[in-house]
Amino acid sequence: MHKRATKQETELRVAHAAELVAEGQAYSSITTHVAAKYRISRRRAREITNKAYLLLKNDIEEGDLNRPEMIAKLLCTLETAMHRAMQEKQYSAVASNAKVLMKLVGLEAKVKS
C-alpha cells in the first residue's frame, strides 16, 4: 500500500502537471503521465491535472496579461504544435490546430445553413 502524498508533494505534482499544460500537452496525456510518474491511480492523476488547469487559469486572471499578449502566446503555441505534428505526420492534429488558429485570427469559414 502506498503512503499518502504530503501537501508539498501534491503541490509539486500539480506544478509539474501545470508545466505540461503550459507546453500544450493534451489533458489525457498529462493524466497518463502523472499517473505513471507518481504511481498513482488515474482518478488521482485527473484530480492533479484539474488542479493544474485551475492553477494556470488563476495565474492568468491574476496576472497583468492583456488580450493581445494572450493571442500572441496562443498563436505561437498553435504554430509550434502544427510544426511538430507535421514532423510526426499527424495530419489530423495539424488540421485541428489549423482550425483553431483560423478561428483565433478570424479566418474561419462561414457555413450557410
What is the rounded distance in angstroms from the CA atom of residue 78 to the CA atom of residue 100?
Answer: 8
What is the rounded distance in angstroms from the CA atom of residue 65 to the CA atom of residue 57?
Answer: 12
pLDDT of residue 64: 64
What is the rounded distance in angstroms from the CA atom of residue 45 to the CA atom of residue 42?
Answer: 5
> Global pTM?
0.58
| pLDDT tens column, 25-41 | 888 889 999 999 999 99
Structural domain spans, the chain: 1-63, 64-106
- For residue 4, which phi and psi values (nearest 5 degrees)? -70, 145
DSSP string covering 18-31 = HHHHHTT--HHHHH
pLDDT over 70 percentage in the chain: 88
What is the rounded distance in angstroms from the CA atom of residue 10 to the CA atom of residue 1?
Answer: 18
| pLDDT tens column, 64-87 | 666 677 777 778 888 888 898 889
